[in-house]
Structure 1
Amino acid sequence: MKTGADNEIEIENYDIFTYRRIRRAIGYLGISLPILLVVFSLVPFFQTPLQFSISHYYYTNLREIFTGTLCAVGLFLIRYKGFGNASILKNDNLLTNIAGIMALGVALFPTNPDDFKAKIYTLIPYPEKWLGWLHYGFAALLFLILALLAINVFTIGQENETKTPKSILNENNIYRVCGYSIIVCIIMIPTFEILKLFPYSTLIFEALSLFAFGIAWLIKGRALGDKGVIGQKLYQENNPG
């Protein structure tokens, strides 16, 4: 016969696994978006050439993949209930809510097209260039918050952990690499655009940012498991393999 304490443990374990599933879903969506768009661009059936940025896929036959994935990420981030913190920069719940709203903004307010006469509008049906700048603002803030989550929030759990020597593959090291990689990519996007060094630079750096974002969430969601060597190296946990 189960006691109240047993039921509480079951509920707690269920909540933990639910959080991990949400984290993994967010991570898989982030990584899959650039892969799907680029791969489908190479398939003649979709009649979509490779775009200069992920945002420009809004004006192609792959628009639903672009907007649908971003909306899914946004809703998952809003639905995700993290931990509160007195510091805004470490408030998991607040930051994920803002990031989710930003993701929806990126999807619903498209970048400016090359030809305004051919623009497909959402929400605000006017050919105003400032609407495109909203897209850039939402995207920049989204990536900055995602970097902040990886660097400031995901690392809290093991921040003061000293029970065993930490491996170079410790999860906190991975989160920081992912977070700072996102920041570097954010800086590189306008830099390469101004210098006109490579026509697909924006697409590449956006894809790298999404990969870094996705990897951080997959590690946080324990997509690789936490048994044996993985548990010891990544999470400092001694779970039998």
Structure 2
Amino acid sequence: MKINNTEIEIERDDIFTYRRIRRAIGYLGISMPILLVGLSFVSFFKTQLQPSISHYYFTNLREIFTGTLCAIGLFLICYKGTSNASIWKNDNLLTNIAGIMAICVALVPMNPDDFAVKIYTLIPYPAKWLGWLHYSFAALLFLIMALLSINIFTIGQKNEMRDPKSILNENNIYRFCGYSILVFVVMVPVSETLKLFTYSTLIFESLALFSFGIAWLIKGRALGDKGMIGKKLYQENNSVDTQKVFEE
């Protein structure tokens, strides 16, 4: 079926727009722990290194914590993924839920160390159950992050038959990132219970965010898709030829 050049250009622009959104989500996910931890060592902000990322809500770096999460949430909600009869593979539904969870994590923080201090939150009420609500939102967010990497991002090459595939094939990276997120999230309560090492929660949360960010950056082709990168990651020798795709 032939498609005129105007329609091809529109489709190509849509593809590039999707990639930009994916890269934005990836960069935000990776930059949040880097900024929070890095700025903790800058005396100007008068903030010590915190036990977890969530603890930064009650510091002078609150705006970076909440702002980055809200930005990720808005990008995920605005990102129009594909629909699927299976909930576990419904890109549009899962990204919308993940976006809402990210915003909820930002606006409903963990419990403060001192309830006597005025709490500036969406729900300014000193109740411990609100802290558990925060953890529930965060757990669901990380779970969907993993699900997107394992179940959604790998759909594109489901019927790909070209061999041999490089170990750096994008699907291998998505699965590695997805399962890494699950492992790091499980390690948070385990390390807290066993007191494995100092700042264990902060480290595992950061690693989970790095895994999340890397998956979105690869999906957004942040490294490009030409030459050796295209061949190793996407089994492409050149960038996507939209004209050829739509003529097939």
Do Structure 1 and Structure 2 share a fold, with TM-score over 0.5? Answer: yes
C-alpha RMSD of matched pairs (Å): 1.2
CA distance 1:202–1:237, shift in 2 (3 Å)? same
* Kept after mapping to 1: 8 A contact 2:29/2:209: yes
Moved over 3 A (4+): none
Deviations 1:102-152 (A, max 9, x none): 000100000011111125231212100000111000000000000000000
Partner of 2:111: 112
Partner of 2:171: 172
After TM superposition, give the deviation of residue 204 of structure 1 in Å: 0.1
Deviations 1:177-227 (A, max 9, x none): 000000001100000111112230000000000000000000000000000
* Kept after mapping to 1: 8 A contact 2:47/2:59: yes
Partner of 2:246: none
Q: Please give the alpha-carbon distance, in whole angstroms, between the structure 1 residues aligned to 2:214 and 2:227.
A: 20
Matches within 5 A, 1:183-202: 183-202=182-201
* Kept after mapping to 2: 8 A contact 1:167/1:233: yes
Q: Does 1:92 align with 2:127?
A: no
What amino acid is aligned across from residue 114 of structure 1 in structure 2?
Answer: D
What amino acid is aligned across from residue 90 of structure 1 in structure 2?
Answer: K
What amino acid is aligned across from residue 124 of structure 2 in structure 1?
Answer: P
Q: TM-score, normalised by structure 1?
A: 0.97
Q: Please give the alpha-carbon distance, in whole angstroms, between the structure 2 residues aligned to 1:162 and 1:172.
A: 13
Alignment length, in residue pairs?
238
Q: Does 1:72 align with 2:71?
A: yes
Q: Does 1:228 align with 2:219?
A: no
Q: TM-score, normalised by structure 2?
A: 0.94
Q: Please give the alpha-carbon distance, in whole angstroms, between the structure 2 residues aligned to 1:36 and 1:113.
A: 22
Sequence identity percentage: 78
Partner of 1:35: 34
Q: Please give the alpha-carbon distance, in whole angstroms, between the structure 1 residues aligned to 2:74 and 2:147.
A: 19
What amino acid is aligned across from residue 91 of structure 2 in structure 1?
Answer: D
Q: Please give the alpha-carbon distance, in whole angstroms, between the structure 1 residues aligned to 2:87 and 2:118.
A: 38
* Kept after mapping to 2: 8 A contact 1:105/1:138: yes
What amino acid is aligned across from residue 175 of structure 2 in structure 1?
Answer: R
Moved more, 50-59 or 163-172: 163-172
The secondary structure found in structure 2 opposite 1:86 is coil
After TM superposition, give the deviation of residue 96 of structure 1 in Å: 0.1
Q: Please give the alpha-carbon distance, in whole angstroms, between the structure 2 residues aligned to 1:61 and 1:76.
A: 25
Q: Please give the alpha-carbon distance, in whole angstroms, between the structure 1 residues aligned to 2:215 and 2:141.
A: 15
Q: Please give the alpha-carbon distance, in whole angstroms, between the structure 2 residues aligned to 1:150 and 1:119.
A: 39
Q: Please give the alpha-carbon distance, in whole angstroms, between the structure 2 residues aligned to 1:78 and 1:173.
A: 26
* Kept after mapping to 1: 8 A contact 2:119/2:126: no
* Kept after mapping to 2: 8 A contact 1:27/1:217: yes
Deviations 1:46-105 (A, max 9, x none): 100000000000000000000000000000000000001111100000000000000001
Partner of 1:182: 181
Matches within 5 A, 1:78-157: 78-157=77-156
Q: Please give the alpha-carbon distance, in whole angstroms, between the structure 2 residues aligned to 1:224 and 1:76.
A: 20
* Kept after mapping to 1: 8 A contact 2:119/2:125: no
Deviations 1:156-195 (A, max 9, x none): 0112201232110000000000000000011000001111
* Kept after mapping to 1: 8 A contact 2:88/2:151: yes
The secondary structure found in structure 2 opposite 1:233 is helix
